[in-house]
Amino acid sequence: MTGTDVTSRVVQEDGTLSDYWVPARNAESEQMVVNMGPQHPATHGVLRVTVKTDGEVVLDCEPMIGNLHRCKEKIAENLQYGQFMPYTDRLDYLAAINNEEVYARAVEKLCGIEIPERIKYIRTIVAALGRVSSHIFSIGVYGLDIGAFTPFLYCYRERERANSLFEKLTGGRMLYHYYRVGGVARDLSDEWIQDCLEFLDIVEDKSKEYNALTTWNKVFKERTMGIGILSREKALAYGITGPAIRASGIDFDVRRDDPYGIYDRFDWKVPVSRGEHGTVGDCWNRHWIRAQELQESIGICRQAIDKLPPHDPKLTPKSIYQPYINPNVPRMLRGPKNAEVYVRGENPRGELAFYIVSDGKNMPYRCKIRGPAFSNIQVLAEISRGYLIADLVAIIGSIDIVLGEVDR
Amino acid sequence: MSLNDLFGQIPGWGEYVPSFVQMLIIAFVPALLVVLAVLTPVGIMGVYAERRWSAFMQDRLGPNRVGLPIWFDGWQRDYTGKPWYIKLWGLGQGIADGVKLLGKEDFVPPGGDAFLFLSAPLVVFAGALGIFAALPMSDGLIAADVNVGVFYILAVGAVEIIGVLMAGWASNNKWSLLGAMREVAQVVAYEIPMAMTALCPVILVGSLQMTEIIAFQQGGLNMWGIDVVGPELAQWGLGWNLWRAFPVNVVAMVIFYICVLANLKRAPFDLPEAESELVSGFLTEYSGMRWSLFFLAEYGAMFALSGITATLFLGGWGSGPVFGALSLVPVETIDLGVGMLKWTTVAGIAEFSWKTVLLMLLMINIRWTLPRLRIDQVMSLCYKYFVPFAMGCILLNGLAAVMGS
């Protein structure tokens, strides 16, 4: 395929020119293979994409993953159930708290542990807060990918507040280890709840700023609308989840469609792209779904705080070193013999699932992690062929991968 | 003043005709002085303004502490153990950065073309510096008032492209090459509407000379053949080319200003060095002082082209609120204490400064607000919108000139 291709736009059915380029076999040009990454500002970590280009047009690309592989699944097989919890933080390190929730639920289902009512609410609050914090970051970084620096710093200003909230609650600003099997590390204080409500007000107010600088900005719309269109069928075929699949017009959210937790008690909706703006499945819609989910998560967090049941004296830990959990959880967790669970949950980036096989020991026999970013990044080549290098950056940013989860 | 008169002023030379080498030396010394006295402060202040202004915009602090440390050992250190320093509100940041960059390795990428790689920053810098020669900063403060001033500036400003292409090609880096390709495509395209809109005031004035353009804007305003403003009011800035052939030149100025942004590779047109796409574009392999030469050139050109925009459309140093306000007081009678200094020079510096600084701050504001355009959008903006509009501006300005503007 060397030597004879140049690229051009296609005349579409309605007479307009297409947004994408295709090779046309009528003139000579040379192709070039460019390595994007692992050290590249726009690959969100240590992703390496080999891009075959013709001038600036991406003819083909291939994401080369594995630079951040840390043998998470093997580690899980060598640690007790509770000990693996902090390792799950490092999967999707931008929404660490949501990873913990899925793992905790998986172990609880395996061992048949019930969760007290107040802890269910606490988990919902911190998970919603984690989603807010993660989506703020995604929106800001997407602005950075498109070339707008200021929204990133605005978003980071609020994310720092979220980090401080988590620090107050868990002691960590990024990697929390807050969940325990059967509960959480400690109870929410009234002061923390006040801080959280204040933070939600600030985010709700400032999200208008983010939207003005990114979502509704003319240049931003020009750059992202109609770019990297991920069709319904392709999204299903590749197992895309999270905001990306909702942007492709598929109404799917694990929290609602495979219910867990107490999300059915709140008034919230799943934002789905119906093609009101741009094309269904383009970069702009993926960004817009995130911006809408930010609002929904704020609503869930507020409602959960509103309905938070009072503290049950039975749950009071015996000492400050003990977690705030269901008191019936045994000191040594053992899974049942020859049992397996597959538990999935909705993370900010999609569906995270843990498949745990137990052979009756205090460690899992096998722990398979299904990361959303790992599945989502596979579609990159499909949707970026024929676009420019600048669009490739926009597409990578809109899929919103976290390399910690891709490589695990 | 002829060359002989100039050399005649050197004591002992009289009618002596200097050799070529002596001429070169005499030409280079003032040029060096201009570099040191104008471009370096402009660069440092530009970087400082950009950092500080963007920090204000982004809820950050920016550099606000760095001053000049006092290094004598012994008595300067107080109990905190920190060196004493002269507080400069962070202005020392530019100097600190300069010292840091001087200490860095002058790196040439293996496989690159060393000669082109090393000389590229000089070409870019020369292009930016060349604009200063015809930049009228005040009454008498213009290095060379050539009769083809506007033409000269457009020509010299385009030299930069060659340097960037050299840099991109010689870096032996694909990102650099892509950046250089983008630069050439973009800047060459934007030269066209830029030159066309620069012609609009030239048509009205009837001269390419900078001082003529400024003097013209000091005169009364005739709009489409009707005398609107007399010379007295024109001092306030009502005689600017911006208002002439109203509203055509407002459009022309907006187009010119955006083309200046594109030629300077400032956001949203920073595709050649697009950070998130091409790592750093043609700058990727540069380090140390050569890298900072590119930056000095960018800020120098920012200042110079803002000044040119002000001169072409906003009256330059010659008219505006400062001159208007000074016309109310008997300013000519004030003794400035220095024989050669005219009051128009002093007022002109103030007039030129506020316009230029305002235009520069607008550039910074735009940079930190807008996302980056894509290369095809940049090109279609130029060829589909700016070129036709600029042609229309030329046509209507010609009409206005015929009608006696």
Reported as type and span, the H/E element at residue B387 is: helix B387-402
Cα–Cα separations (whole angstroms), residue B340 to A123, A346, B133: 79, 77, 22
Tokens in use for B54?
């963007």
Mutate to test the interface with B, among A149, A160, A287, A388 (most CBs of B within 10 A): A149
Instruction: Please answer yes or no on whether B374 and A390 come within 8 Å at the CB atom.
Output: yes
Instruction: Please answer yes or no on whether A150 and B369 come within 8 Å at the CB atom.
Output: yes
Which region among A131-135, A311-315, B391-395 has the lowest average model confidence (pLDDT)?
A: A311-315
Check residue A1 and give its pLDDT: 37
Strand order in the sheet with A48-54: A31-36, A48-54, A57-64
The number of residues making up chain B comes to 405
Reported as a single tens digit per residue, the pLDDT across A133-188 is 999 999 999 988 888 888 999 998 899 999 999 999 998 888 998 998 988 988 88
Reported as a single tens digit per residue, the pLDDT across B321-350 is 888 888 888 777 777 676 667 788 888 889
**In this model, does residue A24 exceed pLDDT 60?**
no
Tokens in use for A288?
């817009």
**In this model, does residue B46 exceed pLDDT 90?**
no
Number of domains in chain A: 1
Task: Give the residue-averaged pLDDT of A95-122.
Answer: 91
A48 forms bridges with which residues in the sheet? A64
Nearest to B275 among A41, A222, A388 (CB): A41
Residue A289 identity = I
Check residue B74 and give its pLDDT: 55
Percent of chain A with pLDDT over 90: 32
Residue A316 lies in a domain: yes
For residues A50 and A62, the answer to whether their CB atoms sit within 8 Å is yes
Residue B277 identity = E
Task: Give the residue-averaged pLDDT of B368-388.
Answer: 89
Instruction: Please answer yes or no on whether A145 and B178 come within 8 Å at the CB atom.
Output: no
Taking the C-alpha atoms of residue A14 and residue A355, their distance in angstroms, rounded to an integer, is: 48
Residue A247: CATH number of its domain? 1.10.645.10
Taking the C-alpha atoms of residue A370 and residue A239, their distance in angstroms, rounded to an integer, is: 11
Reported as a single tens digit per residue, the pLDDT across A218-238 is 889 888 988 888 888 889 999
Nearest to B277 among A42, A154, A214 (CB): A42
Taking the C-alpha atoms of residue B319 and residue B312, their distance in angstroms, rounded to an integer, is: 12
- Look at A200 and B340; give whichever has higher pLDDT: A200
Q: Which of A2-6, B97-101, B271-275, B379-383 has the highest mean pLDDT?
A: B379-383
B385: confidence class by pLDDT, cuts 50, 70, 90: very high
Task: Give the residue-averaged pLDDT of A376-393.
Answer: 88
Tokens in use for A39?
């050290």
Instruction: Please answer yes or no on whether A389 and B271 come within 8 Å at the CB atom.
Output: no
Q: pTM of the prediction?
A: 0.84
Cα–chain-centroid distance for residue B251?
Answer: 21
- Look at B377 and A29; give whichever has higher pLDDT: B377
Query: Would residue B108 be called left, alpha or beta, if left means φ above 0 and alpha means ψ between -120 and 50 degrees?
Result: beta
Reported as a single tens digit per residue, the pLDDT across B110-128 is 888 889 998 999 999 888 8
Check residue A4 and give its pLDDT: 42
What residue ranges do the domains of chain B occupy? 107-404
Reported as a single tens digit per residue, the pLDDT across B187-234 is 989 999 999 999 999 998 888 998 889 988 888 887 777 877 787 888
Task: Give the residue-averaged pLDDT of B230-253.
Answer: 85
Q: Which domain holds residue A330?
A: 72-407
Nearest to A144 among B276, B279, B373 (CB): B276
To the nearest whole Å, the CA of B164 is away from the closest chain A CA by: 18
To the nearest whole Å, the CA of B280 is away from the closest chain A CA by: 9
- Look at B140 and B319; give whichever has higher pLDDT: B319
Alpha carbons within 13 A on the beta-carbon side of A269: 5
Instruction: Please answer yes or no on whether A147 and B368 come within 8 Å at the CB atom.
Output: no
Residue A52 lies in a domain: no
Taking the C-alpha atoms of residue A109 and residue A99, their distance in angstroms, rounded to an integer, is: 16
Give B218-239 as a DSSP string. HS-EEETTEEEE-HHHIIIIIT
Taking the C-alpha atoms of residue A132 and residue A126, their distance in angstroms, rounded to an integer, is: 10
For residues B66 and B91, the answer to whether their CB atoms sit within 8 Å is yes
Tokens in use for B125?
């810098």
Reported as a single tens digit per residue, the pLDDT across B69-94 is 666 555 555 556 666 667 777 787 87
Tokens in use for B231?
């010379």
Taking the C-alpha atoms of residue B352 and residue B311, their distance in angstroms, rounded to an integer, is: 8
Residue A398 lies in a domain: yes
Alpha carbons within 13 A on the beta-carbon side of B286: 28
Nearest residue in chain B measured CA to CA from A217: B370
**In this model, does residue A3 exceed pLDDT 50?**
no
Q: Which residues contact A331 (CB under 8 A, 6 or more apart)?
A: none
A107: confidence class by pLDDT, cuts 50, 70, 90: very high
Reported as a single tens digit per residue, the pLDDT across A270-304 is 999 888 888 888 899 999 999 999 999 999 999 99
The number of residues making up chain A comes to 408
For residues A143 and B371, the answer to whether their CB atoms sit within 8 Å is yes
Tokens in use for A360?
């009756």
Of B56, B252, B300, B263, the residue nearest B158 (C-alpha) = B263
Residues of B in contact with A34 (CB under 8 A): 174-175, 178
To the nearest whole Å, the CA of A326 is away from the closest chain B CA by: 44
Taking the C-alpha atoms of residue A16 and residue A19, their distance in angstroms, rounded to an integer, is: 9
Instruction: Please answer yes or no on whether A146 and B279 come within 8 Å at the CB atom.
Output: no
Sign of CA dihedral A54, A58, A60, A65: positive
A36 forms bridges with which residues in the sheet? A49
Average per-residue pLDDT for chain B: 83
Report ipTM (2 d.p.): 0.80
Taking the C-alpha atoms of residue A262 and residue A308, their distance in angstroms, rounded to an integer, is: 12
Residue A29 lies in a domain: no
Percent of chain B with pLDDT over 70: 89
Cα–Cα separations (whole angstroms), residue B157 to B125, B298, B366: 10, 11, 22
Tokens in use for B386?
């700016």
Q: Coil, helix or strand for B325? A: helix
